[in-house]
Amino acid sequence: MPSSRERVRSTAEEGVKVADELRRFENGSADSYTVSESNGVDLDRDCSKSTEAVGVQCETSMGRVMIFNIYNPGVDIDPAEYREFFLPNSIICGDFNAHKPLWGGTKLDRRGQILGDLVMESDKMVLNDGRGTCIVRGNLSALDLTIVDSKLASLATWDVKDYDLGSDHLPVITSVKVPFEVKSSTTFWNFSKANWFNFCTFLDLSIQNIDMSSLVESVYSRIVNIILEGAETFIPQSTTERTKHQTPWNMECEKD
């Protein structure tokens, strides 16, 4: 038969768990997956006034993959500025307004030369297969590029659709079959390291100060807060992280 101390401890543990769940329910919080921080990678990069760029990052089984979308309205490319996007494990796409036969251009211009040099020096590959992506004066021109790490190129497919969606640029579809990681963290009370004597003493003293003639809702809220305040003071918490590998849904999944 459990001792009185064991019964008190068991009751206290259940009380803390219930109070914790009540607070989480009232706050609308639930178990959720979090996006990892950038860990020093600045996604809000300062670009020139003429170059527009936006970036996101994904945690994958191959590490962090950065995805940048760039728009160059037809001005000179600053190699130093663009090198900031040519990071390891990055995917760079967008309208560069750069011509080079390597990706289907009919001529070579300065922007195409600089961009081609950046691709070569950074061990990246252009996925474009030579087809035009933009309608210029009634003709197709390859201006929308997709540039990836060489190790990602073998996992990628690239396609351009033949409908325009009301734009002079055709839709470009790039798929990279790399499972991404979803990290979830769980925080729990470490009851084995709790100071139960101080916890129970705190509860006894605090509950004595509650006006029991108040509204039931007020008394209930005060008791829950006291239990949690005592738990946060005298019961340590631990956090565990769990990583799930998930593969994005694509058209191949429809066939299975």
Q: What is the pLDDT of residues 212-234, one digit of tens each?
A: 888 888 888 888 889 889 989 99
Distance CA 168, CA 86 (A): 27
Report, at the CATH architecture level, how domain 62-178 is classified. 4-Layer Sandwich (3.60)
Domain ranges in the chain are 4-33+182-246, 62-178
How far apart are the C-alpha atoms of 135 and 112, rounded to whole Å? 18
- Inter-residue contact 207 to 19 (CB < 8 Å): no
Task: Name 44's Cβ contacts closer than 8 Å, sequence gap at least 6.
Answer: none
> Hunting for tokens 């994958």 — which residue is that?
60
Q: Are 133 and 170 in contact (CB under 8 A)?
A: yes
Which of the two residues, 101 and 184, has the higher pLDDT score?
A: 101
pLDDT digits 0-9 by tens, 43-62: 444 455 567 888 888 877 77
76-135: per-residue pLDDT in tens? 899 988 998 999 889 999 999 999 999 998 899 999 999 999 999 998 999 999 999 998
The pTM of this model reads 0.55
Helix, coil or strand: residue 102? helix
The C-alpha atoms of residue 9 and residue 36 are separated, in whole angstroms, by 37
Whether the pLDDT of residue 159 is over 60: the answer is: yes
